[in-house]
Structures are given as C-alpha cells and as structure tokens.
Chain A
Amino acid sequence: MTDTTIPQTGGLRLPSMSVLGPIIALVVLLIIGAMLNSNFLSAANITNVLARSAFIGIIAVGMTFVITAGGLDLSVGSMAAFIAGLMILVMNAALPSMGIGIPIILLGMLTAIVAGMLAGLLNGFLITTLGIEAFIVTLGSMGIYRSLVTWLADGGTLSLDFGLRSFYRPVYFDGILGISWPIIVFAVVVIIGEIIMSRTVYGRHCAATGSNEHVAHYSNVNVRRTRLISYAALGILVGIATIMYVPRLGSASASTGVLWELEAIAAVIIGGTVLKGGFGRVWGTVIGVLILSLIGNILNLTDFVSPYLNGAIQGVIIILAVILQRERKAAS
C-alpha cells in the first residue's frame, strides 16, 4: 500500500517457466533429433512432420478455445471420422450427376464444414442450454459418431471413387512454393486463432468465462453464447481438418481419427493452457502439437527406443506439463 517502493516491471525480465517450458522442450527435441539422425532436419522430414501435425493442430486450436472457456470436447476424433464418412458418401452420390470437377470437391468441403458446425452446435447446445456436463455430453457424442461411421461403412471402409480421389489428392499433397496445403491452412488457422485469443473481445470473454463464469455473467458477458460459439468453431475446424485428411487416404473407417481427441487435448495442455479454463494461448498449443509429433518422428527415425513406446513418452510429457502448470500456480 505504499507508493514509494514500486518494483520496476518491464525491461529485461525472464519469462516464467510456463512460457519457457514448452519452448525449451521443443528445442531439446530438435537437438536430439538432429544428433540422432542426419535426415531429421531435412526439408522433406520437416514438411512431413508439419503436414501430419496439421490435422491434430487445426483441431487443437479449436480445442484451445473450448478449454479456455471452461469446457471440454471428447468427441472430435469420432466427429472427424463421421464427417469423413459423410463427405465421401455425399461426393460418391453426387458423382453421376456432377462428374469429376471443382464443384463436387466444393460440395464435399461444404458438407464437411456444415456437418462439423452442426455437430459442434449440438454439443454446445446440450452443454450450455440444457446444462449437462461437457464431459458427459461429449463422451456420449463420441460414442454416437464412432458408431454412426461404423454403420455407414457397414463395419468396413468407405472409399472415395477412384477417379475423384486422383482429382482431390493435390489438396493434401500439393501446395504453394513447396509448402503443402495442410501446412498453409494450419498456419492460417493458427494466426487467426492467436489474434482472436489474445487481441479480441471474444478471446477475452472466453478467458473470463473459463476463469469465473459468475464474474463473467456479472460483467455483462453472455456466458452461454461464448461457450456455444467455442463448440461450434471447434466443429468447423474439425470439418476443415477432415477436408485435408480425406484426400490423403481417400477413405474412412471405424478406425479413422481414433484418439485424436486425446492428442488434441494433450497438445493444448502441454502448450500451457489451463485444463480448468481461464487461460489459454494458441501459440502454446502449436508447440504442444509439434512436441507430440516430433516424439513419434524421432522414434521412427532412430533405433534407439522402440517406436512402440511413443505413447509412453507422450504420456510422460503430458504429466510433466501439468506439473509445470501447478508450480506456476504455487509460485503466484
């Protein structure tokens, strides 16, 4: 309460461990990778890692908003599988009338985005308007979408028409200036996400809602709408990720997108977003996604540790990330 001893802020102050931690982990992984295998830092490998990260990454950006606003979505993996199946069915069905061409691809993309948005809105509606726990609602919808895609595929695989597949392939494999489309889309989503989270009213409202929904309500924030939008946006991003994913394999089955939800949530948490809500950062999520992908990549490139231990190492990293978060809380 004295105004004489104001500690100086600004200037050279080391960022806290919660900011540095994920960055340091990423740098360490890069160094280890480069030391173990000379191909690790090659353009081909880096492109490969980034392109594979893009699906989870795009979803994880949406997940960052949902978690920051105090929610959770376990259904994104099965939602992606369901949307992929639906997209393939719609495009195959439209093929006789529309033929192979840009319009049918656009129809498929529109299907994915609309389906994703509706699925997200449904989750959001059940959670915000009916007031059911997010965990329960999305656990339920996770089962529903997984089951629906299995049913649509009749227990097997839904395949995109061969001619269509060849036409659609470039959306995954081509790009601009040697950078493939998934990486470009991922980058755009991240930049927009980061701006919305840190610089706009909506981002501020998400953080306030997740931090204390009563305070948010008393501060004229429409808590329900803020949450609903976060689920709908996540659904749309799942649709976009699926648009990138379908041309890669040209098929969807019951095993499409399995455990994506856990990878996305793990990436968000490793990146420093607080699981209970109230604080989120999109750039951290990107680092989280890259850390998870690099671990798998390094294990594949070296014989040092069995690739089968990928999951175990990821698990250790996730737990470490949460311990770091807790120490930040204790320090403050």
Chain B
Amino acid sequence: MTPRPVVALNAVSKSFGPVEVLHNVNLALHAGSVHALIGENGAGKSTTMKILAGYQPPTSGNVTFEGDPVQFDSLQDGEAAGIVMIHQEFNLAEQLSVEQNIFLGRELKRGPLLDKAEMRRRTREYLTRVACDVAPDALVSGLSNSEKQMVEIAKALSRDARVLIMDEPTAVLTNRETEVLFKQVAALREAGTAILFTSHKLDEVAEISDQVTIMRDGDVVHAGPTAEMSEDAMATAMVGRDVSDLYPSKPGVAANAPVVLDVENLSVPGFAENVSFTLRSGEILGIGGLIGSGRTELMEGLAGLRPASSAKVTLFDQVTHFRRPSDAQRAGLCYLTEDRKLRGLLLERGMRENLTLANLHKFGGFLIERSAEEAALTDAIAEFDIRAGTRDVQVGNMSGGNQQKLLLAKVMLSEPRVLIVDEPTRGIDIGTKQQIYAFLRGLADAGHAIVVITSEMPELIGLADRIMVMRLGTVSGMLAPDDINEDAIVRLSMGLRAEKTPQMA
C-alpha cells in the first residue's frame, strides 16, 4: 500500500440542520488504486463523495490533500487540484457539442480566437481512449446516456484528474459499455490516478475495486481490501440493523381473507414488464428494490397515472383498466405519491384547498361549500394530528412530517379500499414515522388492503406482511412472511439469486 493517500477524510462528520448524516467517517484514496464505496440508499455515500470533491465542507473533521488539510471553497478549486467528480445526473451542456463541453471553461485559444482545430484533435484523442464513437461536433442532446457517460469520462481525462470520483457510473451503461469503462479505469489506475466509485452491483465491485468501504446510516461499518470479502459478506455488512418497536405488531393475514386485487402481467412501457401479484384484504404488501427498479412507475401505471397495459386487472371481482386516476379513485384504489412537494401538494396554497382538491365533488354541487371544506379540515387536523400553527398557513411552510400527514389526509378523503403508498416516510422524523406506520396498520386491520413502496429496509421489513422485490422492471422475488429478512431482500434487489450465483446485471 502506498504510504500517503492522495486525498483523505479524517473523522469527518456532516450535519444538515439538526440532523447529522455522517458520523466520524474516515476514508483514504491512494494513487493507483480503485476504491469502491457501497451502502444502501441514504447511507451517506453521496454526501461523502461531495465532501471529498470539495462540493460541501465537512461540519467537523478535515479533508487532507497530499497530507495537508485543505478547504476547497468551490468545486473549481477541487478541479484545479485535480479532483474530478462525475455525477449521476450528467453535468453537460445539452445544447453544446461534445468538443465544446470537454473544453468548457478552459477553451484553447490562439490569439483572441478559439483554437478549434487543436480542441477537435484533442477531443478525438480522448474519445478514442474511451472507445467512444461519437463525432466531436455532435450535440450532447443527441447522445445516449451511455455516450454521455463516456463524454464525462473523456472530460475528466482532459483535466488530467489525479482523483476521479464517480457516482454510480455503470447505472446507465450496458454490459459492453461497462467493460469499456472498466478497461479505462484500469488504464487510469496504471497511470496512477486515485479512483472512487459507488455501485449497487456487487459483482462489479468485486471485479474492479482494490479497496472497499461499506457505509450504513452515516457510519463506515467496514473498510478493507476487496479481495478479502465475498459479495455475500458485503451484502450482509450493508444491512443488519435491528428493528425496534417502531413498527406495530403484525397480526398476520387470515388464510381465508378475500383477494381484493389481482394483477396479471401489468406492463408500463420503459419501466416495468409483465408484473403479476395479488393483494388480500387486511394485508400490507411491501415492494422493495432499488430506486429506479420501476416500482413507482408500475404502481402509477396501475392507478391510471401513466399509460400501462395488462393482461387482466381484477379489483373487487371486477375486471378493470384505469385510464385516468379518477377512474381508479371511483373504483376505490388510490396512490399516494413519493414526491409530496412536486406531485402531492400545492405548496403556495393553504391546507384547505390542498385537502379537498382531489375530492371537490364531495363538497357541494355546482358551488363549493366552503364550510364543509373547513369542517373536513378540522376533522383531518384532529385525526392525523397535523400541527401547523395557523389553519391558513401556506403548505410550503409546513414541516415535512406535517405535509406528509396532510397528504395522507387528502388521499384518505377519497375513502380508498386499496391504498398504495410510495415512500410514505421519506425525509420525516421518527415520531411521525411511527404515527404513519400505526395508521397504515390500523387501516389494514380494518380490512383495507395496502401496498407500501419503500427504499428503507427496516420500514419494509417492519411493516410488510409479504414482500415483492423488483429489479430492472421485473419481479425478482416474492417473500412470504417466514422468508422475510434483509439478506434475502438485498440479494434479490442486487440480482443475486438465493445462494452464491453471481448474476450479470
């Protein structure tokens, strides 16, 4: 091992407001070494990378570069020092050409004019190195995601990066493109570049990385040479939290509980294919899988929010196909969105208008009865324990937890018998989480059927009677109550089959 790391985090903690998201993280990147950073969604990988690249300062602890503590004031400072980060969402100007992007901000000049010939020559050279077959004058907006990824890497090459940080670089790449990327990574390693990347694909981690750091809930739980760890050990280290009494007890679903929803071969073009499942009265079905596995889009397709096709969907013994969300609402099926700020609530409006928006037909005929709306709001505030200061507060000024309760109250006004909730506790405090869990279980106990989509492993395990895991738009497994454990869910989400049979993505 090289004695001195190029860049390192020393006892770094990071807080956003009162919430500490990184606790005492130590991480060192060495020249000529590939480092993998893995962990579940929300484990703190992105924040760690941003601090390394100089995007965000640590709250405590320090970043050292070549052994000296540094404080990058901007990402330009970081890039000037030779640290380049490639984001998951590309940082390319869509309307400019590949060549213009690669030299953006550092254009070569001959006198007062641009030296286009030289820039084009060098661009070709970089593109050849990453085996990317696009013309230097092609517009970035016309490139595929994988080509954009390669252009980003070419851009990093052009900056002679000493440290290259990549956030899930292979998420958008095909297997073949991944191979090209790994060849390039190997070449950079030979040339002495320090590389850090994140991935949800453990087989890749095993294949390409020299060191691996595993994070969970803002802590580094394991760090060491990749060669000493099996993929299974990695998966085990990523999970393994105890589930406290945050979750209501599960009474179990009666064997004779009627099937209320039967979905056969539901497909949402581009997101999910041929998904089938059933849902019983009184049951909470959890849907696990990585972000981007098509869970949200599948359920939105079911609820008529986006185009979908199916062999047959039976709801309460009626064969249905919902073209609009209002059809689903009338039939007793409602979907609660994962994005309360952009899709759930009108942030510059008050609680009353938000609460009744989806159910205005229940408040008077031609004219809306405002008094009835106010009464409904009073009921909702009491039932869902919404604490918002004044009644006419703008919803955008409420806390996340109270917004979520209002959103839940809004959906419950539709009196759904089948309720699909997507990330019901994202970004809210633990007390509110508990209230929402108790409410959902109470609904199930009253005979409703519930689907919970969640990226939080403990929530999935603590809440669901049965778990369906999705991967790349298809169902990778269905876990009965007795088979539910984190290990099984992680394996299915990552594409690892029951035992040690590594799957290519």
Q: What is the CB-to-nearest-CB distance from A277 to chain B, in angstroms, rounded to a whole number?
A: 11
Any B CB within 8 A of the CB of A215: yes
How many residues from A make CB contacts under 8 Å with B?
Answer: 29
Question: B208 interface residue, CB < 8 Å from A?
Answer: no
- Flag whether B391 is at the interface (Cβ < 8 A): yes
Closest to B306 in A: A217
Known: A199-B367, A218-B325, A220-B326. A204 touches B394 (CB 8 A): no
Q: Which of A3, A212, A278 contacts B342 (CB 8 A)?
A: A212
Any B CB within 8 A of the CB of A102? no
Q: Is the CB of A215 within 8 A of B343?
A: yes
| Interchain CA distance A211-B345 in the complex, whole Å | 10
Q: How large is the interface on B (under 10, 10 to 19, 20 to 34, 35 or more residues)?
A: 20 to 34
In the complex, the chain B residue whose C-beta lies closest to that of A218 is B343
Chain A 172-195, CB within 8 Å of chain B: the 1/0 string? 000000000000000000000001
What string of 1s and 0s marks CB contacts (under 8 Å) between B344-367 and chain A? 111111000100011011000011
The answer, yes or no, to whether B17 is at the interface (CB within 8 Å) is: no
Complex contacts, A9 vs chain B, CB 8 Å:
390-392
Chain B 118-133, CB-CB to A under 8 Å as 1, else 0, gives 0000000000000000
Considering only residues 204-251 of chain A, those with a C-beta below 8 Å from chain B are 204-205, 207-208, 211-212, 214-222
Please encode chain A, from 269 to 293, with 1 for each CB lying within 8 Å of some chain B CB and 0 for all others: 0000000001100000000000000
> Is B138 interfacial (CB-CB < 8 Å)?
no
B486 CB, min distance to chain A CBs, angstroms = 31
Q: In chain A, what residue has the closest Cβ to B363? A: A201
**A199 & B357 in contact (Cβ 8 Å cutoff):** no
For the A-B complex, the count of residue pairs with Cβ-Cβ distances under 8 Å equals: 75
Check if A15 is an interface residue, CB within 8 A of chain B. no
Within 8 A of A (CB), among B313-357: 324-326, 329, 335, 337, 342-349, 353, 357
- A218-B360 in contact (CB<8A): no
For residue B368, which residues in chain A have a CB less than 8 angstroms away from its CB?
A: 199-201, 204
Q: Give min CB distance, A202 to chain B, whole Å.
A: 9
B324 touches A220 (CB 8 A): yes
> How many Å lie between the Cα of A217 and that of B353 in the bound state?
15
Query: Which residues of chain A are near B344, meaning CB under 8 Å?
Result: 215, 218
* Residue B399 is within 8 A (CB to CB) of chain A in the complex: yes
Residues of A within 8 A of B390 (CB): 6-7, 9
A279 and B348 alpha carbons, distance in the complex (Å): 10
The smallest C-beta distance from B324 to any residue of chain A, in angstroms, reads 7
CB under 8 Å from chain B, chain A span 1-59: 1-3, 5-7, 9
Measured between beta carbons, the chain B residues less than 8 angstroms from A199 are 367-368
The complex places the Cα of A221 from the Cα of B389 at a distance, in Å, of 29
Is B134 close to A, CB under 8 A? no
- B374-414: which residues lie under 8 A (CB-CB) from chain A? 387, 389-392, 394, 399, 402, 410, 414
Contact residue among B335, B345, B389, B394 (Cβ-Cβ distance under 8 Å from A215): B345
Distance in angstroms from A281 CB to nearest chain B CB is 14
B305 to chain A, nearest CB (A): 7
Partner pick for A211 among B325, B335, B349, CB 8 A cutoff: B349
CA distance A127 to B109 in the complex (A): 45
Q: Which residues of A contact B345 (CB under 8 A)?
A: 215
Query: How far apart are A123's CB and chain B's nearest CB, in angstroms?
Result: 23
Select one of A200, A218, A221, A278 contacting B367, CB under 8 A. A200
Please tell me if the beta carbons of B342 and A214 are within 8 angstroms of each other in the complex: yes
Chain B residues positioned under 8 Å from A2 (CB to CB) = 389
Contacts of B392 in A (CB 8 A): 9
A212 & B391 in contact (Cβ 8 Å cutoff): no
Chain A residue at smallest Cβ distance from B401: A1
The smallest beta-carbon distance between B299 and chain A, in angstroms, is: 12
Contact B324 A222 (CB under 8 A): yes
Residues of A within 8 A of B391 (CB): 9
Residue of B nearest to A203 (CB): B368
Q: Are B357 and A3 in contact (CB under 8 A)?
A: no
> How many angstroms between the C-alpha atoms of A9 and B391 in the bound complex?
9
Complex CA–CA separation, A195 to B344 (angstroms): 27
Residue of B nearest to A8 (CB): B390
Contact B357 A221 (CB under 8 A): yes
With CB as the reference atom, state the residue of chain A lying closest to B398: A1
Residue on B nearest A221 in the bound complex, by CB: B357
A111-135 vs B, CB cutoff 8 Å, 1 = contact: the mask equals 0000000000000000000000000
Out of B335, B342, B360, which one reaches A201, CB within 8 Å? B360
| Contact A218-B305, Cβ < 8 Å, known A1-B399, A200-B367, A332-B394 | yes
For the complex formed, measure the closest distance between the CB of A221 and the CB atoms of chain B, giving whole angstroms.
7
Asked if A211 and B329 make an inter-chain contact with CB atoms under 8 angstroms apart, the answer reads no
- Are A211 and B346 closer than 8 Å at their CB atoms? yes
Distance between Cα atoms of A199 and B363 in the complex (Å): 11
Q: Is the CB of B346 within 8 A of A208?
A: yes
| In-complex Cβ contact of B361 among A1, A7, A201, A218 (8 A) | A201
Contact of B366 among A200, A211, A332 (CB under 8 A): A200
Bound Cα distance A214, B394 (Å): 18
Given contacts A201-B360, A220-B358, A332-B348, contact A215 B342 (CB under 8 A): yes
Q: In the complex where A217-B305, A220-B325, A220-B326 touch, is A212 in contact with B353 (Cβ < 8 A)?
A: no
* Smallest Cβ-Cβ distance to B347: which chain A residue: A212
Q: Apart from A201-B368, A217-B325, A219-B357, what are 16 other A-B pairs with CB-CB below 8 Å?
A: A1-B402, A2-B389, A195-B367, A201-B361, A204-B357, A207-B349, A208-B357, A212-B342, A212-B347, A218-B305, A218-B344, A219-B358, A220-B326, A220-B358, A222-B326, A332-B394
Q: List 7 A-B contacts (CB under 8 A).
A: A3-B387, A199-B368, A200-B366, A204-B357, A204-B360, A208-B346, A215-B343
Interchain residue pairs A-B with the least CB separation, the first 8: A219-B358, A220-B326, A201-B360, A219-B357, A218-B343, A214-B343, A220-B358, A220-B325
* Residues of chain B having any CB pair with chain A under 8 Å: 305, 324-326, 329, 335, 337, 342-349, 353, 357-358, 360-361, 366-368, 387, 389-392, 394, 399, 402, 410, 414
